[in-house]
Amino acid sequence: MKIYKDFDEFFGTLEQDIMVVKLFGEEYEIPASINAKIALKLARMAKDDPDKQMDATDVQDFLEAIYGVETIEEWLDHGISIAQLSEVLTWTMSQYGQAKVAVPDNKKKAVPRKRR
């Protein structure tokens, strides 16, 4: 006997909520549910070092995973600060039900910009 479940069909029938974030006069849509890759990475980080705070590179990596590289590049081109990026990530993760993200003062550094 064969038991079969088509998750592609099942997930395709579910309504996908979105969140909208407005920044620099533009609106950006992201899924209202956290991506499993991001959630698992956060869980691994918490397991490896529960007291570790994200540095600027972590903040950029997570934002790129959620919003996309092109969006983050746009924000960087607009001159967004690391404190502002951290605030966007903190708000986003709070919407996903995750812990607060903080960049400690002694670890704050400029987010590397890609040259075009």
Question: pTM score > 0.85 for this model?
Answer: no
Q: How confident is the model at residue 22 (pLDDT cuts 50, 70, 90)?
A: very high
What pLDDT score was predicted for residue 23?
95
User: Is the predicted pLDDT of residue 108 greater than 50, yes or no?
Assistant: no
Q: How confident is the model at residue 98 (pLDDT cuts 50, 70, 90)?
A: low
The terminus-to-terminus CA distance of the chain in angstroms comes to: 58
Cβ proximity of 86 and 108 under 8 Å: no
What is the average pLDDT across 92-97? 87
User: Is the predicted pLDDT of residue 114 greater than 60, yes or no?
Assistant: no
Cβ proximity of 19 and 32 under 8 Å: yes
Cβ proximity of 85 and 111 under 8 Å: yes
